[in-house]
Structure 1
Amino acid sequence: MSFNKEDARGVKQPHNDPLVITLTIERFNTKRILVDNSSSTDIMYLPAFQQLNLDPGRLHPFDSPLVSFSGDRVYPKGIVTLKVTVRTYPRQLTRQLDFLVVDCPSSYNVIIGRPTLNQWKVATSAYYLKVKFLTKDGVGEVKGDQVLAKECYQAVLAAKGNHTWTIEEEKEDKLEALEAVELVEGEAAKVMRIGTTLGLEMRTKLIQFLRENLDVFAWSHEDMPGISPKVIQHKLNVDPGRKPIQQRRRVFALEWNQAITDEVNKLL
C-alpha cells in the first residue's frame, strides 16, 4: 500500500484537519467517525448508540475508566459488539468490533482507535486524508470528509472537549499465596503466614528462625507492657483549664439508633 499525488486530489492544501470518515455500522451509514492513531480503544458516544436504535441489553459491563490526555475520567456505559463494514463491495471489509459506549459530549459519533486499525492492517495518511486497507480483491480505501472534519474540529475547540481516550490500567497487587504456620503447637492464635513458593530447605529454616524469636512478637495488647511514651502515646488535644461538659443525650429515630449502634460496635 502506498500514497501518491492521485490520493491528494480533492484535498485542500495546506491543512491540519483530522481524518474523519463514514462507515456502515449495523447497516446504517454512520458519519463523523474520527480515525485516531493515539486512541487505545474504539469509542462510540451514547447519542450515536441511541440513534442506531441499538438494544441497551447488548451492553456488557466494563469497569475500567477511560482517561483523557487532560486527566479527565469517565466510566463507560458498557461495551458492545457491532458489525462494521468499511467501503463497498468488492473491496470492503466486514468485521465485528468492540466499542466502549461513553456518555459525554463530543462532536464525533465514533472514534476508531488502534485496536481496529491494527486488526484491519490499515495505512492512514493525515496529509492525504485517506485510509487504505487490504482485501482479497486488492487495496480498498476510504477518503476523509474534509468539510465534516473542519466542523468537528472547530466544535471540539469551542467546547474544549477531549476525543483521545485510553483505558486506565488498574494496578493489581499480585500477592503470593500464603500458608499458615503455628509457631507454638496447640496455640492457634500464634500463627504466622509464609509464602507457599519457598523451597523445602528455606521453609524449614524460616520456621525455625521465627520460633526462636517468639519473644519479639506481640499477639495481644497484654504482650506489650511498659512501652515508653517516647515511642508512642495517646493524647487528647484539650485545654486542661476547661471543665469537662457532658452533653445531653440526643434522641434519634429507631433506624438511626440501630445504625449508630452498629457503627459503635464496629469501633469497639
Structure 2
Amino acid sequence: MDIPLVLGFLDEDKARTIQPYDDALVVTLRIGGYDVRRVMVDQGSAANIMYPDLYKGLGLKPEHLTAYSSPLVSFEGRMVIPKGQIRLPVQAVTDVVEVDFIVVDVFSPYMTIMGRPWLHTLGAVSFTLHQKVKYPSGGQVLEIVGSQAAARHCLVAAIQHRLEAETSATANNGL
C-alpha cells in the first residue's frame, strides 16, 4: 500500500536555527558539477538567476548562452538586461534536475537565485523560518538545510556594496 508523503515542517525542524531571525534561505547545491555556496532559495522569484561570479567560476562563455530577451527587475528596482540563458544540471542531495538559468551581469552577494521553476521541478517546499527545503524522492522526504551564517555574510556584503556605490556616486557628483 502506498502511503502518501507529507511535506511539512515541525518545531523540531527549527532545532539548529538561531531564533529569532529573518535570514534568507541560503544553501549549497551542486551546479554544473561543482559545489556552489551562497545559493539563495527564493520562492518569490519566477526565474532562476545566475550572477557573474558563478558564470565566470564555471568557465562559461558567451557562446554557451542562448538568447533571452525579456528584461528583469533587480532588488534595487532597476531594469536588468540578461546576457542570455543556459541550462545546467543542479543536484539537490541525490536528485539531479536540468535548470534554465537567466544570466545577468549585476552585483549580487549570492552566486545564484533558485526560484519557483527549480522548486516546482523538484516538487519542493521551502521555508525560511525552518531554514530548509524539503522534497519527495524515492518514497522518502529529503531535505536541504540552509546556512544562517552564509545568509548573514551575504547581507553584510550587500550592505557594504550599497554603501560603496552610494559613496562613489556622491564623489562622482562632486558633493
TM-score category (smaller protein)? 0.7 to 0.9
2:52–2:107: 8 Å Cα contact kept in structure 1? no
Partner of 2:159: 157
Deviations 1:86-117 (A, max 9, x none): 01xxxx32111000111011100000111111
* Deviation (angstroms), 1:143: 0.3
Deviation (angstroms), 1:3: 1.2
What CA distance in whole angstroms lies between the structure 2 residues aligned with 1:136 and 1:113? 23
- Does residue 148 (structure 1) correspond to residue 166 (structure 2)? The answer is no
- Indicate yes or no: 2:25 matched with 1:23: no
Q: Shift of the alpha carbon at 1:69?
A: 5.5
Alpha-carbon distance in 1 for matches of 2:78, 2:18: 34
2:35 alignment partner, SS class = strand
Alignment of 1:39-78 (within 5 A): 39-68=45-74, 70-78=76-84
Q: Which residue of 1 aligns with 2:85?
A: 79
Other-structure match for 1:254: none
Alignment counterpart, residue 103 of structure 1, candidates 71, 85, 105: 105
- Deviation for aligned residue 1:55: 4.1
Q: Deviations over 1:157-203 (max 9, x none)?
A: 33349xxxxxxxxxxxxxxxxxxxxxxxxxxxxxxxxxxxxxxxxxx
Q: CA RMSD in A?
A: 1.6
Aligned AA (2:112): V
SS at structure 1 position matched to 2:119: helix
Q: Secondary structure of the residue that 1:6 maps to in structure 2?
A: helix
Q: Distance in 2 between matches of 1:112 and 1:63?
A: 20
SS in 1 for 2:154: helix
1:93 and 1:29 map into 2 onto residues whose CA distance is 14
Aligned partner of residue 9 in structure 2, secondary structure: coil
Q: 1:74 offset after TM fit, Å?
A: 1.1
Greater alpha carbon shift after TM alignment, 6-15 vs 54-63: 54-63
Aligned match of 2:170: none
> What's the TM-score once normalised by structure 1's chain length?
0.56
Counterpart of 1:93 (choices 89, 92, 95) is: 95
Per-residue deviation, 1:6:
2.4
Tell me which of the two structures has the higher relative contact order, counting C-alpha pairs closer than 8 angstroms and 6 or more residues apart: 2
SS in 1 for 2:100: strand
Pairing 1:37–2:43 present:
yes
Structure 2 Cα separation of the partners of residues 125 and 156 of structure 1: 22
Tell me the amino acid that sits aligned with residue 121 of structure 1.
G
Q: Which residue of 2 aligns with 1:197?
A: none
Q: Deviations over 1:117-146 (max 9, x none)?
A: 122121111111000001114111000011
CA distance in 2, matches of 1:112, 1:104: 16
Name which one, 1 or 2, has greater alpha-carbon Rg.
1
Once the two structures are aligned, what percentage of the paired residues are identical?
Answer: 36
Q: Name the stretch that deviates more: 128-137 or 3-12.
A: 3-12
Q: Distance in 1 between matches of 2:46 and 2:105?
A: 18
Q: TM-score under structure 2 normalisation?
A: 0.84
